[in-house]
Structure 1
Amino acid sequence: MAESGKSIVGNIDWLVLLLYLSCVTMGWLNIYAVVYTPEHPMSMFDLSNRSGQQLLWIGTASLLIIAIMVVDHKFYDTFAYVIYGVVILLLVAVLFMAADIKGSRSWIKLGNFSLQPAEFAKLATSLALAKYLGDPTLKLQDWKDYKYVALIIGLPAVLILLSNETGTTLVFASFLIMLYREGLPGIILVIGIVMAALLIVTLLVNKWFVVAAIIVLVALVIWLMPKMARRRGGALTSILFGVGMIITVLGVDFFINDVLQKHQSNRIRVLIDPYSDPQGAGWNVIQSKIAIGSGGLMGKGFLQGTQTKFDFVPEQDTDFIFCTVGEEHGFVGALVVIGLFMGLISRLVILAERQRTRFGRVYGYCVAGIFLFHFLVNIGMTIGFMPVIGIPLPFFSYGGSSLWGFTILLFIFLKIDSQRPFALK
């Protein structure tokens, strides 16, 4: 099931490959900056520290890339459901076999090696969705079709949530971007955005003021609505939408205090005001913003970050790796990293749009959506714009499962795209 090296190399998108190599290299250097100490300098190749271990993961990821590009591209379509089933079994196994690490049961230990199946669930779900939606006769106009899509997305999401990996579970919301491209009504996205905005507004403003504002807004819409639209049920729709918003507002307290776990509700509160718990839930965000702000325009210089060296920010080589970028390389360095991700995601969308098969397009949008979600949320939480939910920055954060998962996810798409000239519509 292998293909010739000439057909692979000749058609691979070199821009995406260059962006990948840039991100991986910069990520590795920033991991070394985190673990480096002037008092005990060490080589970045030393396998006893995380920079050396990350380099080992990068090496094994390179082998995975070669394997992906050699295997026939039809393999990923043919065995999409098999891959999905295997990952589902691993997610179930995690619930029974994994040890509790910081309140999460998400790692399977195989000797000295640890595997996090949740990182590969995003890949498996993307392939399964591409396989199901790849049917050219499927129009996504029947709720029966959405039922199966919801099952494909929801099953791994629920299993990951049961292992107490809330952040990774939320990543599955990124598939809405692909579904919107494939025909999901835009009103569903609008409703989701409105409800999320109401949650934040209700935390900032007295809920009864918000309720009053909704009532006034609905009344104005009905009053200004043309008579024709009113006869067609537009007024009733506006009222029902308003009632839904009011229920959302009144349910915020219950959701935060009785549905979410204590540490999750604390993260939402510190998003509004980090100094409400400066020594607890707000500590990470406060120190993260101090670290990034201290870098100024050009940064303190490579290996010169003081906030990094004294471990003020927890998880600085994983979830908060962007702090190191901001402190040591400043505003300019942060812009470079943001530019790399924006360039990568934009290019992925372009590649997805030019696919000649629906399987390739759906999978490409899944990949782009996942990267966009990780990019926005990870950087957003380090600067206080997003709640701290503990998801990595692709190719920058330390971790073998993370690097492998993102690498496989990306290069399967590059493999599919490399065969685009030979694909039949």
Structure 2
Amino acid sequence: LLEDTKIIFILSAVFGILSFLTYIFYRITRKEIIYRATVIFLIFFVGLILSALFTKELKPYQKERLIVFLKPTIDPFGAGYNIIQSKIAVGSGGLFGKGLRGGTQSQLGFLPEKTTDFIFSIFAEEWGFVGSFFLISIYGIFIYRNIMILYNARDAFATLVASGILGMFLFHIIINIGMTIGIMPITGIPLPFMSYGGSFVITSIIATSLLFNIEMRRYLR
């Protein structure tokens, strides 16, 4: 479907016509349900148009990632290998995990990039659902504290800085954990304070230090 622009064009035309007809009908009847139907059809129409334009700008490897995200088994030993092995690692951890350095996918070399992109898969395999829930809870507390610092910031500049840092951490956490369990496309985004890597670790520490500074300045007169 990503490659077939003819199908996208036909669907766009159908939803465009439906949007127009339901809008005309709404202008006549003034019924709320017709208005909602018009909005839904219009959303589909705009989405299809944007997807067609967006697809033309995608590079081959980017299209491949999207296709594999929708169906990893289409290329199990190629582009879909990483996500398949990641989901196996997460699922095999069970409730309490296999113990420290006891994972099969990580220790036997099945899962690539295990210290960077797929660090959460390794953690979930070794510590299971309980450990993963504990880790996500810690991230939740961390995000909550960020929100409170943002809410209590002294001035607009501090609010903007805290908002940017909060967005960065939240984006990385959601995307990284999401891609390891198969609900997000693989993007290579590291997990804060977990993934191995010099530049992002330093960036995370500096960002956290800025948050501490914003919180500290709240008590200064």
TM-score, normalized by length of structure 2? Answer: 0.84
Q: Could you give the per-residue CA deviations for residues 361-392 of structure 1, whole angstroms, max 9, x where no partner exists?
A: 11111111000100010011111111111110
Going from structure 1 to structure 2, the CA distance change for 1:221 and 1:329 (only over 3 Å counts) comes to farther
3-state SS of paired residue (1:317): coil
C-alpha spacing 1:383/1:242, structure 2 compared with 1 (3 Å):
closer
- What displacement does 1:277 show? 1.1
The answer to whether the 8 A contact 1:351-1:364 is kept is yes
Q: How does 1:243-262 map to 2 (within 5 A)?
A: 244-254=46-56, 259-262=57-60
Q: Is the 8 A contact 2:19 2:42 kept in 1?
A: no
Change (3 A) 1:379 1:300: same
With over 3 angstroms needed to count, the CA separation of the structure-2 counterparts of 1:333 and 1:214, relative to structure 1, is farther
Aligned residues: 209
CA separation in 1, counterparts of 2:217 and 2:132? 35
Q: Which residue of 1 aligns with 2:34?
A: none
Measure, in 2, the Cα distance between the counterparts of 1:295 and 1:386: 20
- For residue 264 of structure 1, the aligned residue among 53, 62, 65 is 62
Query: What RMSD, in angstroms, separates the aligned Cα atoms of the two structures?
Result: 2.8
Please name the residue that 2:178 is paired with.
Answer: 380
Structure 1, residues 182-233: CA drift from partner, whole Å, max 9, x if none?
A: xxxxxxxxxxxxxxxxxxxx65x953346524542454355336999xxxxx
Which structure has more relative contact order (CA 8 Å, sep 6+)? It is: 1
**Structure 1 residues 253 and 325, CA gap change in structure 2 (3 angstroms):** same
Tell me whether 1:393 sits opposite 2:195 in the alignment. no
Counterpart in the other structure of 1:353:
151
Matches within 5 A, 1:169-180: none
Q: Which amino acid aligns with 1:270?
A: V
What runs of 5+ residues in structure 1 fail to find an aligned partner?
Answer: 1-201, 229-236
Find the aligned partners of 1:296 and 1:240 in 2 and give their Cα distance: 44
Aligned to 1:119: none
CA distance in 1, matches of 2:213, 2:90: 37
Cα 1:380–1:211 shift into 2, 3 Å: farther
C-alpha separation in 2, matches of 1:238 and 1:225? 16
Shift of 1:297: 1.1
Structure 2 residue runs without a partner (length 5+): 31-38
Is 1:342 paired with 2:140?
Answer: yes
Quick one: structure 1 residues 252 and 408, their matched pair in 2 at CA, closer, same or farther if it must change by over 3 Å?
Answer: closer
Q: Counterparts of 1:335 and 1:310 in 2: how far apart (Å)?
A: 25
Q: Percent identity?
A: 38
Secondary structure of the structure 2 residue equivalent to 1:251: helix
Cα distance, 1:239–1:261 mapped onto 2, change above 3 Å: closer
Q: Deviations over 1:56-95 (max 9, x none)?
A: xxxxxxxxxxxxxxxxxxxxxxxxxxxxxxxxxxxxxxxx
User: Contact conserved, 1:211 with 1:249, CA < 8 A, in 2?
Assistant: no
8 Å CA contact 1:377–1:386 kept in 2: the answer is: yes
Q: Distance in 1 between matches of 2:191 and 2:181?
A: 14
TM-fit CA distance, 1:246 = 4.3
What letter is aligned with 1:276?
A: I
Cα–Cα, structure 1 residues 366 and 226, in superposed 2: closer, same or farther, change >3 Å?
farther
1:287 matches 2:78: no
Aligned-partner Cα distance in 2 for 1:210–1:289: 35
Quote the Cα distance in structure 2 between the aligned partners of 1:401 and 1:219. 54
1:131-280 correspondence to structure 2 within 5 Å? 203=2, 207=8, 208-209=10-11, 211-213=13-15, 215-217=17-19, 219-221=21-23, 223-224=25-26, 244-254=46-56, 259-280=57-78
Q: Is the 8 A contact 1:395 1:403 kept in 2?
A: yes
Equivalent-residue separation in structure 2 for 1:224 and 1:360 (angstroms): 47
| Alpha-carbon distance between aligned partners in 2 of 1:349 and 1:343, rounded to the nearest angstrom | 10
Equivalent residue for 2:217? 419
Amino acid across the alignment from 2:67: R
Once residues 290 and 275 of structure 1 are traced to their aligned partners in structure 2, the CA distance between those partners, rounded to angstroms, is 13
Distance 2:40 2:76 in 1: 42
**Partner letter of residue 50 of structure 2?**
T
Aligned partner of residue 421 in structure 1, secondary structure: coil
Change (3 A) 1:317 1:379: same
**C-alpha separation in 1, matches of 2:115 and 2:196:** 6
1:273-297 Cα distance to aligned partner (Å, 9 max, x none): 0011111110000000001000011
Q: Distance in 1 between matches of 2:16 and 2:123?
A: 42
How many Å separate the matches in 1 of 2:12 and 2:77? 31
What is the aligned counterpart of 1:325 among 84, 101, 123? Answer: 123
State the 1:298 CA deviation: 1.1
